[in-house]
Structure 1
Amino acid sequence: MDILKTEAFLRLCATLVFVLAACLDRFDNQTKFIIFFERKITFKDLKALQALAYAAFGAAGYNLLQLSRCIFFISCFHGNLSKRSYRYLAWVCYLLDQVVVYLTFATNSAAIEQSMLVVTGMKEFQWTKWCNKYTRFCFQIGGAIFCCYVACCLMAFTTFVSAFNLFRLYSPKKFLRVKNT
């Protein structure tokens, strides 16, 4: 029962941090007047930031669904589920948790890689440094990437709890063939 409450708390924290990261990324924009024209930069200018926003919103939605499952089990069953009926659900939760962690980590890593090109620039491709001109935009994107990494760590801990919930359903005596002599 306590492990289910721990899982619910971790999922709630991960959901809140994913929503924060997605909102920081999605609603970030900055407008500057450069020489003779006005230039507005948004998260849509970098494809990896778009993917980061969508992945973070998706991960937050997934965690919200799993949080509702935890609350339902806590309130209705009081931790008394049969092992047989819960085993398939535990496998699905564990595998989906793994997918969400790897997906969000991958999109966050791609966003940080593309953001580093924005910070440093690349003369070979004639890419200029954006962060010299759009400092607020870059700091806010940096905060979104940091929040997403924190949420990935929270999801990794949630995956540990999910793995514990799964593998506690299997008896070690079933798999160890000990001969009684």
Structure 2
Amino acid sequence: MSYLGVGVSPRTVPAYHSTNLKLFDKRIKIAELVLRFMILGLGVVAAALIRTDSQVKVFFSFEKEAKFTNVKTLVFLVVANGLAAGYSLIQGLRCVVSLVRGSVLFNKPLAWAIFSADQSQFDSAKYCC
């Protein structure tokens, strides 16, 4: 029995029964590209907001300006956001080249390197903020 291209095998495992896998692959690449550039934009915005933010505290007649460099954690956060944005830019360009050429990633060590870098980027963002 089939419903919208998804069938049920004899062992009741959903299977995708479509002959147009190139369209499906292209949609996945476009979704990855959009997500990569969203990460790039958000990383740049976060780094810029932290970098340009300052506060002024008046204590009697003294003015003390606080900047992000006064707290070392914020310096680390700006650097981490910059690195994440740079990595997302590189991977976004790789996605664009993959879309234009129509190639699939056949190099297994490169695929593992990209996967590992994506995981470390996610872990650093999870523990950083």
**Do the two structures share a fold, i.e. TM-score over 0.5?**
yes
1:64 to 1:34, Cα distance in 2 relative to 1, 3 A? same
Q: Amino acid of the residue matched to residue 107 of structure 1?
A: C
1:23 to 39, 44, 48: 48
Partner SS state of residue 55, structure 2: strand
Q: Could you report, residue by residue, the CA deviation over 1:53-77 in whole angstroms, capped at 9, with x for unpaired residues?
A: 110011000000000000011112x
Figure out how many residues of one structure are paired with residues of the other and give that number. Answer: 104
1:55 to 56, 62, 80: 80
The aligned runs of 1:118-137 (5 Å cut-off) are none
Q: Amino acid of the residue matched to residue 49 of structure 1?
A: L
Note if contact 1:29-1:41 (Cα within 8 Å) is conserved in structure 2. Answer: yes
| Per-residue deviation, 1:32 | 3.0
Distance 1:106 1:51 in 2: 12
Partner SS state of residue 56, structure 2: strand
Note if contact 1:15-1:61 (Cα within 8 Å) is conserved in structure 2. Answer: yes
| Per-residue deviation, 1:45 | 1.6
Note if contact 1:12-1:67 (Cα within 8 Å) is conserved in structure 2. Answer: yes
Percent identical? 31
Partner of residue 128, structure 2: 107
Partner of residue 65, structure 1: 90
1:96 equivalent in alignment to 2:117: yes
Q: Which has the higher helix share?
A: 1
The aligned runs of 1:160-179 (5 Å cut-off) are none
Distance 2:46 2:120 in 1: 19
Partner SS state of residue 64, structure 2: strand
**Unmatched 5+ residue regions in structure 2?**
1-25
**Deviation >3 Å, runs of 4+:** 80-83
TM-score by length of 1: 0.54
